[in-house]
């Protein structure tokens, strides 16, 4: 039974039990309606508590029911029943109260949350807006601007923040149900406080309108954040009945939109990515103590990611000076996080206290996992791993963060390559969500499972990749960049391609990205690999010419663009250079429409994606979409190229 109730003292305890996340599936809605009616009809009952079994409070409406004909009782009607309950009603929240789950809690007359609970309205991430009163009740509890921020971003907040904002009334640090009973007995003495009747606090209209415009701009084509913000704004301008009506209509309109369909694909794809048929029933090798070799830009970001997730970390640099530099780099990352308000000083100190700095590899002796982030050179990495074999335990997992080297070649120097894995982070590693979990040739199943478990604990998305040059991501990116270069040579200009890509929803076009990253490193690689290049393949020399002219990107004030005073502008010298390259090959330049530019890019990504799957490098088409979305800025609301081409 997904809903049941029992009495304790004179309180009705309504239990939702619908694993895995207590979503408000049809049976839950029906069960709640019945239980509420029974508890309200029972003269001995003085107050009601809604609580959940299992690991979480209600994590939302049942996503699997979206797209199917809705079946009554509807969630919005149920939520209204909760608010209208004659007897005071408390929501007892543990785990996550998300979407429809938070909407149930918002309609309750009091909310108590356990200390580690998290609350949010993540609907925008599914391309929709809250559909059961969230946009109207949340601003009544926490104020207009905070509510717009929460609903439009979809981000979760902690129980403590929820208490500070007035979203919950109490925090339970002990037994949630015991504390909820105490709270319910207090509420039983008073008239229920119905959230829908609470007036919205005064707010600065001009500031909120500016906030909404900024949200729409940041959404880069995704509809739901702006719509969600506008629905919340209604709460300040319309009677609640009208605000709720608007919200419901917008929810129903968006739930069947193309964007919602694409984002539901992304949701399902993310859950699928962690499921590997051959890992069924495999327990991941245990990881708590983590060693990181190298505290350069990448190593420092990785260390912060691990520290943020509660791991104990040992960093080893090659000498004292590099070690001190690494420590400063990590502290600087935390200083920026404190400055931006993302963490406080105490959290910074606590995380730093879990990072040890050394310049002797023997410090790795007790590590469960040692990950290298040293210079991307085969000899350097092989020397490191060869020496580690005699330092660490035989079951310690050894991992490389290489971008381009072959992990199997690196592993060839260790006696037991079954413990060797690739964990390819993207920069900045503490921010970027994607990690390619590289399945090396001889990898042990529990090591691969550990790679996925670790990335999940880091709050990142692990995508399994086989071994090939560039793995999944850089291989797709190389194909994409090459297609863009072909179009440059055929007649397009960098700003035209960038404009097309940005209009499509990417945060930045390829040439703006290259200018930011710098042109010199890939130039060095091209020069090194020049002898290996197949002369029969089309080669575009524009990037080489720019480098020969000293145009290494933003850091030199010029690249594909000019950066006078730091401001990006089209540079006629680049146009001339590109035209000259086309002329040398007798290419008659022609113009490209934005639609054609994007069609060529998507066709290229799909073709490369097909090859990657055919070679067994990626497991499935949806993994290709996830890599592009989480590592390269492909707009999630478009679902990815494989989704658009009907492959996933």
Q: Is 243 an interacting residue with respect to ligand 3HC (CB under 6 A)?
A: no
* Minimum CB distance to ligand 3HC smaller for 23 or for 464: 23
* Minimum CB distance to ligand 3HC smaller for 48 or for 254: 254
Interface characters, 70-89, with ligand 3HC (x: CB under 6 A): -----x--------------
- By CB under 6 A, name the one of 7, 53, 64, 197 that touches ligand 3HC: 64
Question: How many CA within 13 A on the CB side of residue 49?
Answer: 28
Question: How many CA within 13 A on the CB side of residue 207?
Answer: 8
* Minimum CB distance to ligand 3HC smaller for 98 or for 168: 98
- Give the shortest CB-265-to-ligand 3HC separation in angstroms: 13
Q: Is 61 an interacting residue with respect to ligand 3HC (CB under 6 A)?
A: yes
- By CB under 6 A, name the one of 31, 88, 99, 284 that touches ligand 3HC: 99
Reading the block at residue 629, the tokens are 């979305």
| Beta bridge partners of residue 370, listed in sequence order | 291, 398
- Tell me which residue of 172, 59, 195 sits closest to 113, measured CA to CA: 172
Q: Is 62 an interacting residue with respect to ligand 3HC (CB under 6 A)?
A: yes
* Minimum CB distance to ligand 3HC smaller for 103 or for 496: 103
Which of these ranges, 59-67, 82-90, 161-169, 354-362, lies near ligand 3HC under the rule CB under 6 A? 59-67
Q: Is 281 an interacting residue with respect to ligand 3HC (CB under 6 A)?
A: no
How far apart are the C-alpha atoms of 275 and 293, rounded to whole Å? Answer: 30
Q: Is 559 an interacting residue with respect to ligand 3HC (CB under 6 A)?
A: no
Q: Is 639 an interacting residue with respect to ligand 3HC (CB under 6 A)?
A: no
Active site residue 123: yes
What phi and psi, each to the nearest 5 degrees, are found at residue 119? -130, 140
Q: Is 232 an interacting residue with respect to ligand 3HC (CB under 6 A)?
A: no
* Minimum CB distance to ligand 3HC smaller for 95 or for 641: 95
Pairing verdict, β 397-400 and 420-425: parallel
3-state secondary structure of 169: coil
**Annotated catalytic residue within 30, 46, 83, 123:** 123
| Beta bridge partners of residue 118, listed in sequence order | 96, 158
* Minimum CB distance to ligand 3HC smaller for 282 or for 365: 282
Reading the block at residue 274, the tokens are 């962690």
- By CB under 6 A, name the one of 13, 52, 60, 92 that touches ligand 3HC: 60
**Annotated catalytic residue within 30, 46, 103, 331:** 103
Which of these ranges, 38-46, 99-107, 486-494, 567-575, lies near ligand 3HC under the rule CB under 6 A? 99-107
How far apart are the C-alpha atoms of 473 and 517, rounded to whole Å? Answer: 16
- Give the shortest CB-23-to-ligand 3HC separation in angstroms: 4
Q: Is 227 an interacting residue with respect to ligand 3HC (CB under 6 A)?
A: no
* Minimum CB distance to ligand 3HC smaller for 96 or for 114: 96
- Give the shortest CB-126-to-ligand 3HC separation in angstroms: 6
* Minimum CB distance to ligand 3HC smaller for 137 or for 381: 137
DSSP single-letter state for residue 469: T
Chain positions 103 to 142 lying near ligand 3HC, rule: CB under 6 A, are 103, 122-123, 126, 130-132, 134
Q: Is 461 an interacting residue with respect to ligand 3HC (CB under 6 A)?
A: no
- Give the shortest CB-28-to-ligand 3HC separation in angstroms: 11
The CA-atom distances, in angstroms, between 526 and each of 317, 537, 539, 613 are 29, 14, 11, 26
Pairing verdict, β 562-564 and 567-569: antiparallel
| Beta bridge partners of residue 421, listed in sequence order | 399
Q: Is 23 an interacting residue with respect to ligand 3HC (CB under 6 A)?
A: yes
How far apart are the C-alpha atoms of 298 and 53, rounded to whole Å? Answer: 41
Q: What is the 3-state secondary structure (H, E, C) of 398-457?
A: EEECCCCCCHHHHHCCCCCHHHEEEEEECCCCCCCCEEEEECCCCCCHHHHHHHHHHHHH
- Give the shortest CB-89-to-ligand 3HC separation in angstroms: 19
- Give the shortest CB-131-to-ligand 3HC separation in angstroms: 3
Reading the block at residue 398, the tokens are 């050894």
- Give the shortest CB-128-to-ligand 3HC separation in angstroms: 6
Handedness of CA 298, 304, 308, 312 (dihedral sign): positive
Q: Is 316 an interacting residue with respect to ligand 3HC (CB under 6 A)?
A: no
- Give the shortest CB-226-to-ligand 3HC separation in angstroms: 17
- Give the shortest CB-266-to-ligand 3HC separation in angstroms: 11
Interface characters, 38-57, with ligand 3HC (x: CB under 6 A): ------------------x-
Q: Is 20 an interacting residue with respect to ligand 3HC (CB under 6 A)?
A: yes
How far apart are the C-alpha atoms of 253 and 247, rounded to whole Å? Answer: 10
How far apart are the C-alpha atoms of 369 and 452, rounded to whole Å? Answer: 13
Find where tokens 């504390």 sit.
179
- Give the shortest CB-59-to-ligand 3HC separation in angstroms: 3
- By CB under 6 A, name the one of 13, 48, 88, 100 that touches ligand 3HC: 100
Reading the block at residue 122, the tokens are 């993540």
Active site residue 103: yes
- Give the shortest CB-294-to-ligand 3HC separation in angstroms: 30
CA 369 to chain centre: 24
459 and 430 in contact (C-beta within 8 Å)? no
How far apart are the C-alpha atoms of 495 and 561, rounded to whole Å? Answer: 8
| Beta bridge partners of residue 113, listed in sequence order | 93, 171
3-state secondary structure of 545: helix
DSSP single-letter state for residue 201: P
Number of residues that bind ligand 3HC (CB under 6 A): 24
Q: What is the 3-state secondary structure (H, E, C) of 322-373?
A: HHHHHHHHHHHHHHHHHHCCCCCHHHHHHHHHCEEEECCHHHHCCCCEEEEC
Q: Is 271 an interacting residue with respect to ligand 3HC (CB under 6 A)?
A: yes
Chain positions 463 to 482 lying near ligand 3HC, rule: CB under 6 A, are none
Q: What strands, in cross-sheet order, belong to the sheet with 312-316? A: 355-358, 312-316, 289-293, 369-372, 397-400, 420-425, 434-438, 461-465
What is the binding site for ligand 3HC (CB under 6 A)?
A: 20-21, 23, 56, 59-64, 75, 96, 98-100, 103, 122-123, 126, 130-132, 134, 271
Active-site annotation, residues: 103, 123
């Amino acid at each position: 039974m997904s809903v049941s109730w029992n009495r304790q003292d004179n309180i009705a305890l309504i239990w939702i039990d619908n694993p895995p996340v207590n979503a408000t599936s049809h049976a839950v809605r029906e069960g709640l309606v019945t239980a509420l009616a029974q508890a309200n009809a029972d003269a001995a009952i003085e107050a009601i508590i809604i609580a959940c079994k299992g690991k979480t409070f209600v994590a939302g409406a049942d996503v699997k029911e979206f797209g199917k004909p809705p079946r009554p009782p509807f969630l919005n009607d149920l939520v209204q029943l909760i608010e209208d309950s004659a007897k005071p009603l408390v929501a007892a929240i543990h785990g996550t109260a998300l979407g429809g789950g938070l909407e149930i809690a918002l309609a309750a007359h009091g909310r108590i949350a356990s200390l580690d609970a998290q609350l949010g309205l993540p609907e925008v991430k599914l391309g929709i807006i809250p559909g059961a009163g969230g946009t109207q009740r949340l601003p009544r509890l926490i104020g207009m601007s905070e509510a717009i921020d929460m609903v439009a971003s979809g981000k979760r907040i902690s129980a403590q923040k929820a208490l500070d904002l007035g979203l919950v009334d109490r925090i339970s640090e002990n037994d949630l149900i015991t504390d909820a009973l105490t709270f319910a007995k207090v509420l039983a003495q008073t008239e229920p406080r119905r959230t829908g009747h609470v007036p919205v606090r005064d707010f600065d209209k001009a500031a909120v309108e500016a906030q909404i415009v900024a949200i729409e701009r940041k959404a880069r084509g995704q509809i739901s954040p702006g719509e969600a913000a506008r629905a919340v704004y209604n709460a300040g301008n319309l009677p609640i009945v009208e605000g709720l009506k608007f919200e419901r209509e917008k929810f129903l309109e968006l739930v069947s939109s193309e964007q919602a369909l694409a984002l539901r694909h992304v949701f399902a794809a993310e859950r699928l990515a962690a499921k590997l048929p051959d890992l069924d029933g495999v327990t991941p090798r245990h990881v708590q103590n983590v060693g990181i070799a190298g505290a350069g830009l990448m190593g420092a970001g990785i260390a912060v990611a691990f520290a943020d997730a509660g791991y104990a970390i040992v960093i080893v640099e090659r000498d004292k000076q590099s070690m001190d530099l690494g420590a400063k780099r990590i502290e600087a990352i935390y200083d920026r996080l404190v400055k931006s308000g993302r963490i406080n000083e105490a959290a910074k100190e606590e995380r730093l206290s879990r990072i040890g700095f050394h310049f002797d590899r023997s410090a790795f002796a007790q590590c469960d996992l040692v990950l290298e982030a040293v210079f991307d050179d085969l000899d350097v990495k092989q020397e490191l791993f060869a020496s580690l074999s005699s330092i660490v335990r035989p079951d310690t997992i050894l991992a490389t963060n290489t971008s381009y080297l072959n992990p199997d070649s690196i592993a060839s120097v260790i006696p037991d390559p079954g413990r060797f894995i690739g964990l390819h982070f993207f920069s900045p590693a503490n921010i970027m969500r994607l990690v390619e979990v590289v399945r090396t040739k001889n990898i042990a199943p529990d090591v691969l499972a550990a790679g996925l478990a670790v990335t999940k604990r880091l709050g990142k998305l692990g995508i399994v990749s086989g071994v090939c040059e560039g793995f999944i991501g850089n291989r797709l990116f190389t194909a994409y960049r090459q297609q863009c270069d072909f179009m440059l040579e055929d007649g397009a200009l960098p700003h035209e391609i960038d404009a097309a890509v940005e209009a499509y929803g990417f945060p930045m076009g390829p040439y703006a990205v290259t200018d930011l990253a710098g042109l010199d490193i890939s130039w060095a690689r091209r020069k090194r690999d020049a002898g290996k290049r197949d002369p029969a393949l089309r080669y575009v020399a524009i990037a080489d010419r720019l480098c020969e002219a000293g145009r290494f990107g933003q850091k030199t004030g010029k690249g594909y663009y000019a950066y006078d005073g730091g401001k990006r502008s089209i540079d006629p010298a680049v146009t001339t250079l590109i035209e000259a390259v086309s002329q040398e090959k007798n290419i008659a330049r022609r113009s490209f429409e934005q639609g054609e530019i994007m069609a060529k890019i998507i066709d290229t990504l799909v073709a490369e994606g097909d090859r990657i799957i055919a070679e067994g490098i990626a497991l499935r088409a949806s993994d290709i979409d996830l890599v592009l979305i989480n590592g390269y800025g492909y707009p999630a609301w478009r679902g990815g190229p494989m989704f658009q081409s009907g492959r996933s």
